[in-house]
Structures are given as C-alpha cells and as structure tokens.
Amino acid sequence: MNILVCVKQVPDTTEIKIDPITNTLIRAGVPSILNPFDAYALELAIRIKETNGGLVTVLTMGPDQAKSALKECLSAGADKAILVSDRAFGGSDTLATSYILSTTIKAIENKTENFDLILCGKQAIDGDTGQVGPEIAEHLGYGQVTYAADITVDGENLRVKRENEDHYEIIETQIPAVITVIKTAYELRYATIKSKMAANKIQIPTMTSIDLVIDLERTGLKGSPTKVKKTFIPQLKKSGIKIKEETVRESVLKLISLLSDATLI
C-alpha cells in the first residue's frame, strides 16, 4: 500500500495569548507543532504499512521551517517527506491550497507511482476548516471518507470506522481514496534518539511551482475565492460567581437560587 499523509505545521493554539493592550494575538514565541490530527493520520498510515507493506510519504505545504514538522514525521516512521513551497502560494485559502497539494500529488505520482491511500487529519487546529482533505479528493477525482477513527485494509478494499454525531458507521470503499482522520485509539509513536538523528540527516526535497503543472492564477491570494474581511478577538467570558458555603447542601441551594434568578431553572 503506497500511502501519502498530508500534514500541516501549526502554531500550538493552546499557547496563544492575547495582547491586552492591542487586543491582538501574540504569535511570537508560540511553538510550532505537527497538527495533532495529522499525527493520528500518520500513526494510522504507519500501522497500515506494518500490516500490509508499502511506503509512507508525508507532504506539507508551507515555509522552509515546516521541514521540522516533516522531520518529526520521518523520525516517527515515515519513509519519505516532501515540502512544497513557493512565495506564489502564500495567502491561499482551502480551495487554492487543495489545488496546490493535488497538483503536487500528481507531480509526485508522475515521477514515482500512484498513491493508493491519501490520509489527512480531519482539520488543522489553526484554521479548523476541515476542507482541504475533501477538496484534494475532488481535485484528484478520488472517493472520500471523512472523520475516520480506524481503517482496515483488505487488498483493494478499505473498511473505515467513521464517526458521526451520535453513532459510528462502517463504510466500505476502494483504493484510491482520500480519508480524513479524527483522534484515534493510537497516539503517534515516540521517535527514538536513533531515528531522530537519522531523520535530521535526511535532505528533504522542496518542490516549487516550477516543478508543477500549475496555473498560478489559481494559487495564493488571487486564486482564493474567500477573502478575510476582518479579524477580531472574541469577548472572553468573565469569571462568574464562585460558591463555597459552609455545607454542601447550602452550596447547592445557593446555586439553584442563582440559576433560578437567572431564569435558568
């Protein structure tokens, strides 16, 4: 099974603070991490490879520093990593990003062999859109399954456990397919010191627009149908009333009386 995992390097959104004076995000000093859902997708890919054989390639679009996320993937067990990077790609929305990634995937397939399975995290924790995976599937004309919690492979058949709002679904499909992955039962394995050192030595190839058959009108800001009109910091909830009475029953009764005053009860 020839597997591609599309990953993204994201700011650790849990470390983001708000500048109280300018009321803007403080991004400086926020660590960059491998998007958590992509880590689950990678672990799933490695497990599929271990049972079925094959290769795991990771692909990301981003600036040169995104190579550190790719190295993390290599040290955990990915076989190959590719960065696609070009100034013309900056400011791309999901439609433009998925176009660039699918064009890159075609270029890689032209040089080597086709991917049977393309995995993405269900969404990135910075943009939270969850759109790039299905849009890659559409660009490539492949079938898709989103919100996968597990995948089993039987020859060309894929059996996907998909999470829906109030139940799981078992969905069957065939390769080639694009599958987006939620938090699974399998955390990404730890890299060893040896694998980290090996990954550090690998020269990660960078593809640019020159390496692709690509219409630059469809990339970057001008290739993006959505435009950001404005951004703002949401009003944060202020902490409310803390109840700590003499006895538990008094605390509970006070809570109920407060809820009643707020017409919640």
Partner 1 sequence: MNMLEDFKNLWVYIEAVDGRAKSVGLELLNPGRRLADINKEKLIAVVIGDDACNVAKTAIAYGADEVILVEGDEYKEYSTDGYVNVLDKLVEKYKPSTLLIGATNNGRDVAPRLACRIKTGLTADCTGLDIDEESGNVAWTRPAFGGNLMATILCPNTRPQIGTVRPGVFKKIEPDFSREAKISRERINTPKEGIRTKLIECIKETSGEIVNLEEAEIIVSGGRGLGKAENFSLIRELADVLGATVGSSRAAVDAGWISHMHQVGQTGKTVQPKVYVACGISGAIQHLAGMNSADTIIAINKDEDAPIFDVADYGIVGNLFEVLPVLIEEIKKIKIIKV
What is the footprint of partner 1 within residues 50-79 (CB under 8 A)?
none
- Cβ proximity to partner 1, 213 vs 264, nearer residue: 264
**Burial group, residue 36, by CB count within 10 angstroms (0-12, 13-18, 19+):** middle
Minimum Å gap between C-beta 188 and partner 1 is 12
Q: What are phi and psi of 32, to 5 degrees?
A: -90, 135
Work out which of 111, 194, 201, 249 binds partner 1, going by CB under 8 A: 249
Q: Which residue has the tokens 């959104």?
A: 13
Which C-beta is closer to partner 1: that of 210 or that of 213? Answer: 213
Using the structure block, give the residue that is written with the tokens 């924790």.
125
Q: Which is nearer to partner 1, 36 or 68 (CB)?
A: 36
Which residues within the stretch 93-152 sit at the binding site for partner 1 (CB under 8 A)?
93-95, 98, 125-135, 137-139, 143-147, 149
Site string for partner 1, 203-242 (x = CB under 8 A): ---------------------xxxxxxxxxxx-xx-xxxx
Q: Which amino acid is at 88?
A: A
Of 33 and 74, which has the nearer Cβ to partner 1?
Answer: 33
Please report the DSSP string for 54-106 in residue order. Answer: -EEEEEEES-GGGHHHHHHHHHHT-SEEEEE--GGGTT--HHHHHHHHHHHHH
Q: Is 183 in the site for partner 1 (CB under 8 A)?
A: yes
Between CA 134 and CA 140 the distance in angstroms is 10
Give 23 or 203: the residue with its C-beta nearer to partner 1: 23
